[in-house]
């Protein structure tokens, strides 16, 4: 059996999930990888058979998606050419983790396709939504990377086709401790914006920033480049986690029973949905950082921790997928 695995390269969660599933998939089949999106840095080049431009979100460095920046980087003719030229006749199955080129090419070329992603969970109306539903964003979630068969991931199994989170092995092996600092990953903010805010709050902050190339300190804020080993060390020993409402990191924080504060990226509907789910679970959610210093201090003073009720076993999931 030969499988093409498509990974959305914008967002570390898609890549983290692939790293868990690929060893299990390769026990049963030959697997090639296609990765698209220009924000990917965490997958070694030698593992990838195809790299495509794809579609990625651009952030405005102050907590939101830049619509103009995202549209500017779109290359529709290149995208259509990638769809037509992808040689899917050699594959028995195409798996897409919210990767649009592989998903649409499989549909157009008549190859069996599987959507395996957090976004696939939103095909169920049982998944929590924000008070204001975006019809356009709902359609985008449905048709961005479509497949006839879907397996979604969410904080809970809200529906029969939705699995609990798939936690990476690096996190499952950790023995969590508490050293007093707060671990921060808010990639839609520039580090200078974050350090200005956190300098006002007297606690030790470990900030992981895509715009940082080497470690630096700004008073009580230690800033690190984005990298797995240093991040995991800080994550393991922190007293709390401040992050956007991205699915994977929030799930990992809850798995380790870390106090969690979520700040959804503006204009990012999926994160608004995640924030609605987190609120129902009891996690504190703020609409932004600026002007919310009092809320952050209140969160720091509290001790409420929300955990996960279950996680997904990657080996069992792969066996289930291939048996069907």
The DSSP-derived string for 266-311 is BT-HHHHHHHHHHHHHT-EE-S-STT-HHHHHHHHH-------S--
pTM for the predicted model, two decimal places:
0.89
> If DSSP codes are grouped into helix, strand and coil, which group holds residue 120?
helix
Given a cut of 90, whether residue 37 has pLDDT beyond it is no
Model confidence pLDDT, tens digit, residues 224-264: 998 878 999 999 999 999 999 999 999 999 999 999 999 99
CA distance 252 to 273: 18
Decide if 43 contacts 59 (C-beta within 8 A): no
DSSP H or E run through 62: none
Average of per-residue pLDDT across 273-279: 98
Average of per-residue pLDDT across 56-70: 49
pLDDT for residue 69: 52
Q: How confident is the model at residue 79 (pLDDT cuts 50, 70, 90)?
A: confident
For residue 106, report the phi and psi dihedrals to the nearest 5 degrees: -65, -40
pLDDT for residue 193: 95
Residue 110, judged by CB atoms within 10 A of its CB (0-12, 13-18, 19+), counts as exposed
CA distance 217 to 31: 43
Q: Which of 68, 95, 71 lies closest to 1 in space, CA to CA?
A: 95
Q: How confident is the model at residue 53 (pLDDT cuts 50, 70, 90)?
A: low
Q: Among 6-10, 115-119, 145-149, 191-195, which stretch is predicted with the lowest mean pLDDT?
A: 6-10
Look up the CATH architecture of domain 169-301: 3-Layer(aba) Sandwich (3.40)
pLDDT for residue 228: 77
Decide if 189 contacts 211 (C-beta within 8 A): no
Q: How confident is the model at residue 45 (pLDDT cuts 50, 70, 90)?
A: low
For residue 94, report the phi and psi dihedrals to the nearest 5 degrees: -115, 125
Average of per-residue pLDDT across 149-162: 97
Q: Which of 285, 72, 255 lies closest to 155 in space, CA to CA?
A: 255
- Residue span(s) of the chain under CATH 3.40.50.2000 come to 2-164+312-323, 169-301
pLDDT for residue 84: 84
What number of other Cβ atoms are within 10 A of residue 44's Cβ?
A: 6
In the chain, where does DSSP find H-type helix? 12-25, 67-72, 76-85, 100-109, 135-143, 169-172, 191-198, 228-237, 247-255, 269-281, 293-301, 314-323
Q: Among 67-76, 118-127, 268-277, which stretch is predicted with the lowest mean pLDDT?
A: 67-76
Look up the CATH architecture of domain 2-164+312-323: 3-Layer(aba) Sandwich (3.40)
Average pLDDT, rounded, for the chain: 89
Share above pLDDT 70 across residues of the chain, in percent, rounded to a whole number: 89
Model confidence pLDDT, tens digit, residues 191-212: 999 999 999 999 999 999 999 9
Average of per-residue pLDDT across 92-114: 95
pLDDT for residue 56: 56
Which are the contacts of 275, defined by CB distance < 8 A and separation ≥ 6?
130, 245, 262, 264, 285
Is the model more confident about 189 or about 227?
A: 189
Which are the contacts of 231, defined by CB distance < 8 A and separation ≥ 6?
183, 185, 208, 224
pLDDT for residue 323: 87
Q: At what angle do helices 12-25 and 247-255 cross, to 10 degrees?
A: 70
Sheet holding 93-97, edge to edge: 50-52, 30-36, 2-8, 93-97, 113-117, 149-153, 162-163
CA distances to 80, 154, 315 from 165, rounded to whole Å, are 33, 6, 14
Given a cut of 50, whether residue 299 has pLDDT beyond it is yes
């Amino acid at each position: 059996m030969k499988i093409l695995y498509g990974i959305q390269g914008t967002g570390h969660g898609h890549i983290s999930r692939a790293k868990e599933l690929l060893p299990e998939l390769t026990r049963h089949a030959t697997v090639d990888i296609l990765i698209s999106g220009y924000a990917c840095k965490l997958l070694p080049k030698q593992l990838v058979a195809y790299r495509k431009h794809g579609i990625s979100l651009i952030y405005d460095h102050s907590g939101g998606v830049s619509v103009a920046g995202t549209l500017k980087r779109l290359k529709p003719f290149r995208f259509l050419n990638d769809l037509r030229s992808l040689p899917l006749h050699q594959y028995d199955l195409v798996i897409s983790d919210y990767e649009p080129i592989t998903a649409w090419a499989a549909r157009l070329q008549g190859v069996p396709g599987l959507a395996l992603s957090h976004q696939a969970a939103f095909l169920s109306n049982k998944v929590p939504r924000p008070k204001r539903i975006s019809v356009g964003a709902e359609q985008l979630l449905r048709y961005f990377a479509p497949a006839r068969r879907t397996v979604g991931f969410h904080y809970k199994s809200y529906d029969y086709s939705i699995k609990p989170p798939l936690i990476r092995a690096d996190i499952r092996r950790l023995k969590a401790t508490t050293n007093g600092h707060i671990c921060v990953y808010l990639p839609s903010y520039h580090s200078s914006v974050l350090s200005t805010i956190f300098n006002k709050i007297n606690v030790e902050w470990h900030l992981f920033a895509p715009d940082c190339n080497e470690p630096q300190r700004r008073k009580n804020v230690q800033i690190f480049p984005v990298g797995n080993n240093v991040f995991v060390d800080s994550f393991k020993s922190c007293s709390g986690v401040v992050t956007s409402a991205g699915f994977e990191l929030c799930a990992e924080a809850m798995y380790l029973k870390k106090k969690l504060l979520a700040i959804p990226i503006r204009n990012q509907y999926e994160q608004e949905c995640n924030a609605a789910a987190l609120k129902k679970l009891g996690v504190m959610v703020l609409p932004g950082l600026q002007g919310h210093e009092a809320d952050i201090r209140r969160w720091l003073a509290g001790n409420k921790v929300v955990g996960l009720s279950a996680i997904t076993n990657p080996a069992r999931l792969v066996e289930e997928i291939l048996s069907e």
